[in-house]
């Protein structure tokens, strides 16, 4: 989904971006990124906008091979397992049958949820709330499915890719658009090509 049509194929649908919870931050303050806005996809009427099924993928990931087989799952919801013990899940990628978990949206209170998540030792914004609201029993994608964290799994191993790697999430401070990482690892440079100047867009963090 995008609200910016520049440089896109005309077949891609451009939609307005909602502002719900765009100025709500987790307890660690504005220094921490906030993804509460995307909880809107859990709203009961989300199917009107997205259809019967959707996949959400973070921008700070590199896809190394076909991930569509992971979506061949008939359940209502699936999400990446947590890379640390600070939540049950990681928000790098999830799949949802729209309307299947409406209480993630309807029960969200911007005044109380950030504090409740922090009090329960949960880190992050949307992934912390999803963890608190849904508990630990949802379907998860893990290393066995080829889902890895750069900071937690690859950096300690010298950046070597496991043979089954499908998607690498750059959760944390290291990001694939950073010049140092792109120079150090060819798989990052190949997986995160710079946008052409004609697109008019700067790379995140390189404005």
By percentage, how much of the chain surpasses pLDDT 70?
Answer: 90
pLDDT above 50: residue 205: no
- CA dist., res. 114 & res. 162, Å (int): 35
Whether 64 maps to a domain, the answer reads yes
Whether 93 maps to a domain, the answer reads yes
Whether 200 maps to a domain, the answer reads no
Which domain covers residue 44, as residue numbers?
36-193
* Global confidence as pTM: 0.88
pLDDT of 195 reads 52
pLDDT above 90: residue 111: yes
pLDDT above 60: residue 201: no
- Average pLDDT (76-86) is 94
Instruction: Give the number of domains in the chain.
Output: 1
- Average pLDDT (95-120) is 96
Whether 12 maps to a domain, the answer reads no
Q: How confident is the model at residue 1 (pLDDT cuts 50, 70, 90)?
A: confident
Burial class (CB in 10 A: 0-12, 13-18, 19+), 106: exposed
- CA dist., res. 106 & res. 116, Å (int): 16
- CA dist., res. 137 & res. 162, Å (int): 26
Question: Which of 167 and 27 is assigned the larger pLDDT?
Answer: 167
Whether 113 maps to a domain, the answer reads yes
How do residues 117-167 score in pLDDT, each as one tens digit? 999 999 889 999 999 999 999 999 999 999 999 999 999 999 999 999 999
Q: How confident is the model at residue 29 (pLDDT cuts 50, 70, 90)?
A: low
- Average pLDDT (58-71) is 94
pLDDT of 146 reads 98
Whether 202 maps to a domain, the answer reads no
User: How many C-beta atoms surround the C-beta of residue 139 within 10 A?
Assistant: 13
Whether 109 maps to a domain, the answer reads yes
CATH code, 133: 3.90.550.10
Mean of the per-residue pLDDT values for the chain? Answer: 89
- Average pLDDT (4-18) is 87
């Amino acid at each position: 989904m995008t609200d910016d049509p520049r440089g896109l194929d005309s077949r891609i649908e451009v939609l307005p971006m909602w502002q719900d919870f765009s100025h709500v931050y987790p307890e660690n303050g504005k220094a921490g990124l906030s993804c509460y806005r995307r909880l809107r996809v859990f709203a009961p009427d989300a199917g009107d906008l997205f259809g019967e099924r959707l996949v959400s993928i973070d921008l700070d990931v590199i896809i190394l091979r076909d991930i569509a087989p992971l979506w061949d799952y008939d359940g209502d919801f699936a999400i990446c397992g947590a890379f640390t013990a600070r939540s049950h899940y990681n928000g790098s990628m999830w799949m949802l049958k729209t309307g299947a978990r409406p209480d993630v949206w309807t029960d969200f209170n911007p005044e109380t949820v950030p504090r409740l998540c922090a009090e329960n030792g949960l880190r992050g914004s949307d992934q912390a709330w999803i963890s608190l609201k849904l508990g630990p029993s949802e379907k998860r994608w893990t290393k066995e499915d080829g889902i890895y964290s750069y900071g937690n799994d690859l950096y300690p191993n010298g950046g070597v890719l496991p043979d089954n790697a499908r998607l690498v999430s750059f959760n944390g401070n290291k990001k694939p658009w950073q010049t140092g990482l792109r120079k150090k690892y060819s798989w990052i440079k190949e997986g995160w090509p710079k946008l052409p100047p004609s697109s008019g867009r700067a790379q995140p963090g390189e404005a």
